[in-house]
Structure 1
Amino acid sequence: MPPEKHQLVYTLTARCRDCHRCLRVCPVNAISIANGQASVKPERCISCGACIRECPQGAKTYRRDIAQARDLIASGAVVAASVAPSFAAAFPDWKGGRFVSALRRLGFAVVAETAVGAYYSAQACAKAAGNGSNICGACPAAVNYIEKYRPELAAQIMPAASPMVAHARLLKTALGQDAKVVFIGPCVAKKSELERQDAAGAVDVALTFEEITEWLGKSGIDIASCEESAFDGLPRGDSRLYPVPGGFLKTAGLGDGFMNPAAISVTGAAEVKDALLSVPPEVAVEPLFCREGCINGPGLKTADGLLKRRASVFSYAAKAQTAKTGGAKTGAAGKFTDDEIRRACAAEFSPRPFKSGVEISEADIQRVLEQTGKGEPEQQLNCGACGYRSCREKAVAVLEGMAVPEMCIPLMRRRAEQRADRIISDSPNGIVVLDSSLSIISANPAFRTLFSCSDDLPGRRLSSVMDSAPFEKVAAGAQESVDSVYRDAPAGIFCKMLIYPLREEGQVIGIFVNMAQHDGGETAGLQRAQTVAQARELLEHQIDMAQHIAMYLGESTAKSEELVKKIIALSEEGKDGLDNTL
C-alpha cells in the first residue's frame, strides 16, 4: 500500500537502496532523501513517471486501480474501454486485434480507440492556435509542470481537452451518461488528470498497459488464445499517430513538428523545459515529457526498443487507415453534432504554482555551503551528481528538508580520503608507498621513525633507506607479494614485513610491524590492539561512506581500504603467529 491512500507515485521502501538515481532523473526535484530512503513529495510531483522508469531496484511505483475498474464491470453498468493509440507498441503485430477481444472477455461492453477523441481534440487545438495559445495540453505531465512550475505559461496552453477526456465525453454522449469509461494507456500522469476539475466525470478509471496485462493474467486470459476482432468506431485523419513525436501536429494540420518553423515537437523532460524557456508564442509546441513520446511511457512495459515501438504504431496506423472498418458497435463512436464536439473538447488551464513555504535567506544558503566545504564560488563544482543542477540549489533543498549534506559526492569522497589519510598517518605500523621505479611517494611517521628518516623522503629511492631487494621482486612481477621478516641488526630494526603491488596504478606498498620490542609483554599487545582498533574504525567508516556514495567512491578510497585490510591481517596474527614466523 502507498504511504498515503491517494498518493499516486510512491516508494517501496523495502527495495530502496539509497542510490539517488530517482532524484537525479526527477525533472522537478520532487524526491526527498531522509534516513537512507528516497520518498516522493506529492505536492511537488508532476506524475511524469521518470523515477518509475529509471529506478534500477524497482523501488518507485504507482497506485494500482485494477480493483476499481473490476468493480465497475461487476456493477452491471455499461463500461467502455478507451484504448490509447500507443497500444500498437504495447501489443504489436498479431497481438493488437486479439488484445481487443481480450478486453471484451474481461467484460468491457465497448472497446474503442482514444484516437477518436484525439482527432477532435487536435481540431480544437488548431482553431485555438494563433489566438494567444500555442502549447498543446495532451500530455498531462507537461500540463502539471507548466501549472506548478511555469504558471505564467498556463494561459498559453491551448484550451482543448486531451484526447482521453474528449473521447470519454463522446462515449458517454453516445452510450448514455450512466455509462462508465476506463482509459487504458502508457501514462501514469493520466491518473492525475482525472482529478482535474475541468475533467471531472469524464473518465472513471485510468489504467496503464502494465495494469491491464496484470489484470488479464490474474483473470486467466491469454491473448494468444483470443480471436482477432476490431475496435468499436473508426478514428479520423492521422489521429492514430498521436503517441509519436509530431503526431498531434500532423493530426491538427500544423505540420509534423520537424520541418515547419511555425510548429515544433519536443520530447524528454529536459528538452521540454528548455523549449518552454525560449519558444516564441507564435510557434505551436507539442511538449511530450517522455522521450520519444507516449510509446516510452512508464506504464508501457515491453522488451522492444523505441524504434520498434515507433514502427509498430506507424504500421498499425497504415493498415487501419486502409481497412477503414469499425467493430460491431460502430455507432458507439457515433456521429456527433458540433455542439457535442465543442462540449467534449472544452478545457481550462490555470496556474497553481508550487511554493515550499520555507523562508530562506542568503545567509542561510551560505551557511549550508560553508558546512559542505563550498563557501567560495571556486569550491562549488555544480557537478549535478546529487541530483541538483548546482550546489546552491542543493543548499536550498537542504534548508527545505528535501536533501541532506551527505548527498554531495565530492564532499563524501573528500571526507573518506581525509579519514583514511589520518588513520594511516596515526598507525603505529610503518607504511610506505612507492612508484614502479621504487622511488618513495609517501611514508607515514611510523615508517620514518622505524628507519630513522627525515621528512624529506618523497622522491628518494627506497634503496637509500633499506634493502630494496624484496620490493624489486614484487615490482618486477617475480613475486606476487612478500610476507616475511626484515632484520637490520646494526640499525636495531626487527620487524614483520608485508609487500604487495597495485598493478593498475604502478605502485608498490610496504607495511612494517615493529617487533624490536616484542617480548610477549604489554607493548606489542597494545600496539596490535591500537592498530586493529584504528583499522576497524576506518573500515566501518568506509562502509558508511560507500552507502552514501555507492559507485562514486574514488579509486584512492578503494586503495586505502585495501591497505587497511592488509594492516588488520598483519596485526591480528598476534604473538604466536609472529613467533612462528621468526
Structure 2
Amino acid sequence: MKVIDFKDAKCRHCYKCVRYCEVKAISVQNEQAHIMEDHCIHCGQCLEVCPQNAKTFASDMERVKGYLQRGVRTVLSLAPSYLSVLDFDQPGQVVDALMRLGFDEVRETAEGAALVTEEYQKLLKSGQMTNIISTCCPSINDLIEKYYPSLVPMMAPVVSPMIAHGRLIKQMYGPDVKVVFLGPCIAKKAEAVGDERVEGAINAILTFEEVIRWWREEGIRVKECEDKPMGNPDPGVNRLYPIGGGVITSVLTEGPEDHYEKFHAEGIKTCMELLDELTRGEVKGGFFELNVCKGGCVKGPAAERWKRSMLKARLDLEHQVKYTEEAVHIEHEPILLDKVFEDRYIQDNQPTERELTEVLRAMGKYTRQDELNCGACGYATCRAKAEAVYQGKAEISMCLPHAVAQAESMSNLVMDATPNMVLIVDRDMHIRECNKRMLDKLGISREEALERYIFEFIEVEDIEQVLEDKKSILRKRIQLETLDVIAKETIVYIESVDSALVVYQDVSKEEKAREQHMNLKMETIDIAQKVIDKQMMVAQEIAGLLGETTAETKVTLSKLRDSILDDGED
C-alpha cells in the first residue's frame, strides 16, 4: 500500500516536491505529481514542503478505533519524542489521556530502544565490522538498501526500537494483543506494514497529530488528566534516541569501551554526503548514527505542524531525561532482534547519448550554453531532467525557461504574423515594444526602435489622450502622412504597465480601391448622362421630322379625299 501520495485536484505546475526530494522518487505525469513507491524512502520531505496541501497520508485511525470498540486488548507504544512535542504539565498526564481513549496500557518505545542499545554494544564490543551504521531510522535503511547497496554490509543487523518493542509487548501479553505505535514518523508506517522481515510486530501506526485530533473529538484535555505512570520500567537515557546523537549517548552511557569512533549525522543531505564518503572508502573504524530528519525524530514530518524550533525540542526532551540515569534492566525471554538487510538497488533505464540529446533538443537545449541548470523543474541540471524525461519521471513542459521561451515565441509569432502595425508606448512616448510590420514602416531595427520615441515618427495626440483619460479609441480613421498610410487606429490603455497598446490597421489599399471604385461610378454616371442627353436630342429631332411629315401627309390626303368627293357629284 502507498503510505503517502498527492491529491490529483490540487497538484499543478509547482514541482516543489521534486526539488526537495533528494532521491527523486516523484514522477510527474499529465502535470500531476505521484510518489514512486519503489523509489521512495518515506522521509516525508514532500509532505512538509507541499504549498497546496495536496498530500495524502494512509491513516490507521479507524483500524485502531475498531480494536478498542471490539474490546480487543490494545497496548500503545509511545515514542519518547512526545516529551518535546505534546503539551502537558506532567508526562503522566499523556498516559492518562491515552488510556481514556481506551488503550489498555501505555508503554514507552524507549523500552525497545534499551534492547537495541544492548545489541549495538555487542557489535561494538566484538569489533568485527569495519564500520557500523545504526539502523534505527527506517528512512536511512531504505536509502542505503535502494541507493547505496554497497554499504549494506555496514548496516547494524538489528531491528528498530519500534519493532523490538512490538515484539517485546507481544511476548509479554501474547500474540493476540494489538500493538499501536504513536510517534512523529511516517516511515514507521512503511516499516510496519511494508517490510515482510518485521511483519506482525506492530499492528497500527498513529501520528501525534491524529491523536490530538482524537482527543479534541472526545473532549479530553491533557492538562486536566491525572499523572499516571507508564507501564514499563524506566528506560533512562534510552529516551534520547529521538534527538541527534541520542543513540550514541545511550550506547556510551551503558556500554564498555571500544575502539570505534562515534559520529552522528542529521538531515538527508548530510547523511548522503557521509554515505558517499563511506562508499569511497574514505572512513573506517566508525560507528555512525544517521537520522534522515534534521534535528532527529523530534522534528519528524508528523511533528512539523508544531513549528517548534529544533533547539527547543531538544532541550524539552533532554530536560525530561537524566543523562546519568541507567535504565532499569528489562527482564524478558529471548526476542528475535536480528534483521538481515538487503540490496534493493533501484536500476532505472539509462538513455544513450543520442537519446539524451534528442530529449534535450525537445527541451530547446541545442548546445551546452542552452543548458541553464536553473533547477526550477526540480532537477539540478538539464541533463538530469532530460534523463528523467527519458525514464518517464518528468515531462518536457516542466522546463520553466523552455515554457517561457515557447510562450514568448508564440506571442512574438502572433505579433509578427499580424498585418497590423502594433507597438506599446509608455507615458514618455518611449517605444517599449514594436512588431515587425511597424518596424518595416518605420524603417529601423527593433534595437533602434526601443531607444526611440514615437513622436519622432507620427502625431501622438490620440496616444496622449488615452494615457491621460484611460479611455480606449477604437477603429478611428486617420492619415499617417509621415508613413504614407491611411489607417484605422485602435489605442488601449494597459494599466499593469501604465502604457498604451497602439494598433494601426493599414487600410490604404482599401481606401484607394474605394476611391477608384467611386471614380469609376462617377465616370459611369457621366457617360450615362451624356447618352441620355444625346438620346433626348435625337428624340427631339425625330419628333420634329415626324411632325412635318405628318402635316404634309394630312394636307395631301385631305386634297385626295376632296378630289374623290368632287368626282362623285358629277
- Say yes or no: TM over 0.5: yes
| 1:301-316 matches, cutoff 5 A | 301-316=305-320
Q: In the TM superposition, what are the counterparts of 1:163-202 in structure 2 within 5 Å?
A: 163-194=161-192, 195-202=194-201
Cα 1:276–1:374, aligned 2, differ >3 Å: closer, same or farther? same
**Is 1:70 aligned with 2:74?**
no
1:155 offset after TM fit, Å? Answer: 1.2
Q: Which has the larger radius of gyration?
A: 2
Match of 1:89 in 2: 84
- Which residue, 405, 408, 415 being the options, matches 2:399? 408
Alignment of 1:309-348 (within 5 A): 309-318=313-322, 335-336=330-331, 340=334, 343-348=335-340
Deviating more after overlay: 297-306 vs 399-408: 297-306
- C-alpha distance in structure 2 between counterparts of 1:57 and 1:154, whole Å: 37
**What's the secondary structure of 1:238's corresponding residue?**
helix
TM-score (norm 2): 0.77
Q: Which moved more, 1:344-353 or 1:60-69?
A: 344-353
Distance 1:487 1:413 in 2: 38
* Identity rate, percent: 29
Aligned length: 495
The equivalent of 2:264 in structure 1 is 265
For residues 380 and 254 of structure 1, do their structure 2 counterparts lie closer, same or farther at Cα, with a shift above 3 Å needed? farther
Distance change (3 Å), C-alpha of 1:265 and 1:441: same
Within the candidate set 335, 348, 352, 1:361 is matched to 352
Q: Secondary structure at the match of 1:431?
A: strand
Query: Are 2:253 and 1:249 equivalent residues in the alignment?
Result: no
How do residues 550-565 of structure 1 correspond to structure 2 at under 5 angstroms? none
Measured against aligned partners, the alpha-carbon deviations of 1:65-92 in whole angstroms (never above 9, x if no partner) come to 1222233334544321110011122213
Tell me how far 1:489 sits from its aligned partner.
Answer: 5.2
Q: Specify whether residues 489 and 386 from structure 1 end up closer, same or farther in structure 2 by C-alpha distance, changes over 3 A only.
A: closer
Query: In structure 1, what is the Cα distance between the partners aligned to 2:480 and 2:189?
Result: 78
Offset, 1:135:
0.9
1:82-108: CA deviation from partner (whole Å, max 9, x where unpaired): 100111222134274322111111222
The answer (yes or no) to whether the contact 1:240–1:317 under 8 Å persists in 2 is yes
Deviation at 1:141, TM superposition (A): 0.6
1:367 CA displacement: 1.3
The letter of the residue matching 1:308 is K
Contact 1:72–1:79 (CA under 8 A) maintained in structure 2: yes
Deviates further, 358-367 or 109-118: 358-367
Aligned counterpart, 1:281: 284
1:126–1:254 Cα contact (<8 Å) kept:
no
Alignment of 1:20-39 (within 5 A): 20-39=15-34
The 5 A counterparts of 1:370-519 are 370-433=361-424, 440=431, 442-448=433-439, 452-455=442-445, 457-458=448-449, 459-467=451-459, 479=468, 483=472, 488=480, 491-496=484-489, 498=491, 509-514=500-505
Whether the 8 Å CA contact 1:432–1:442 is kept in 2: the answer is yes
Answer whether contact 1:482 1:497 (CA < 8 A) is retained.
no
1:373 Cα deviation from its structure 2 partner:
1.8
Contact persistence 2:485–2:508 (CA under 8 A): no
Q: Does 1:149 align with 2:153?
A: no
* Counterpart residue type for residue 182 of structure 2: I
Q: Which residue of 1 aligns with 2:538?
A: none
Matches of 2:263 and 2:463 in 1, distance apart? 66
Equivalent position amino acid for 1:282 in 2: G
For 2:50, the aligned partner's letter is C
CA deviation map 1:279-331 (0-9, x unaligned): 4232222221122211221222324333332332223335x988x99xxxxxx
Q: Which amino acid aligns with 1:288?
A: N
Which runs of structure 2 are paired with 1:14-25 in the superposition (5 Å)? 14-25=9-20
Aligned-pair Cα RMSD in Å: 3.5
Going from structure 1 to structure 2, the CA distance change for 1:94 and 1:18 (only over 3 Å counts) comes to farther
- The answer to whether the 8 A contact 2:424-2:434 is kept is yes
Question: How much has 1:277 moved relative to structure 2?
Answer: 0.5
Question: Are positions 1:352 and 2:344 aligned together?
Answer: yes
Aligned-partner Cα distance in 1 for 2:175–2:429: 86
SS in 1 for 2:165: helix
Taking a change above 3 Å as real, the CA distance of residues 428 and 401 of structure 1, as seen in their structure-2 partners, is same
Cα distance between partner residues in 1 of 2:107 and 2:324: 15
CA apart distance, 1:432: 2.9
For 1:233 and 1:321, the matched residues in 2 are separated by 19
Whether the aligned pair in 2 keeps the contact of 1:125 and 1:159 (CA below 8 Å) is no
Counterpart Cα distance in 1 of 2:469 and 2:90: 60
Distance in 2 of aligned mates of 1:354 and 1:346: 25
User: Residues 447 and 173 (structure 1 numbering): CA distance in 2 closer, same or farther, change over 3 Å?
Assistant: same
Code of the aligned partner of 1:229: K
**Amino acid of the structure 1 residue aligned with 2:237:** D
CA distance 1:315–1:520, change in 2 (3 Å): farther
After TM superposition, where is structure 1 displaced by more than 6 Å over at least 4 residues in a row? 469-474, 501-504, 518-523
2:128 corresponds in structure 1 to 131
Q: Is there any run of 5+ residues in structure 1 with no aligned partner, and where?
A: 1-5, 326-332, 524-582
The offset of 1:402, in angstroms, is 1.4
CA gap of 1:367–1:221, structure 2 versus 1, over 3 A, is same
CA shift, 1:344, in A, is 4.9
Question: Hey, what does 2:293 align to over in structure 1?
Answer: 290
Taking structure 1 as reference, are residues 518 and 114 closer, same or farther at Cα in structure 2, changes over 3 Å only? farther
| Alignment-derived partner of residue 533 in structure 2 | none
Residue 496 of structure 1 contacts residue 512 of structure 1 at CA under 8 Å; is this kept in 2?
Answer: yes
* CA positional deviation for 1:248: 1.3
Would the aligned equivalents of 1:244 and 1:310 in 2 still touch at CA under 8 Å? yes
Q: CA deviation at 1:426?
A: 2.3
411-420 vs 115-124, greater mean Cα deviation? 115-124
1:202 to partner: Cα distance: 1.9
Relative to structure 1, is the Cα distance of residues 138 and 521 closer, same or farther in structure 2, using a 3 angstrom cutoff?
A: farther
Change (3 A) 1:105 1:93: closer
* 8 A Cα contact 1:128 1:159, kept in partner: no
Query: What CA distance in whole angstroms lies between the structure 1 residues aligned with 2:107 and 2:224?
Result: 21
1-structure distance, mates of 2:437, 2:269: 54
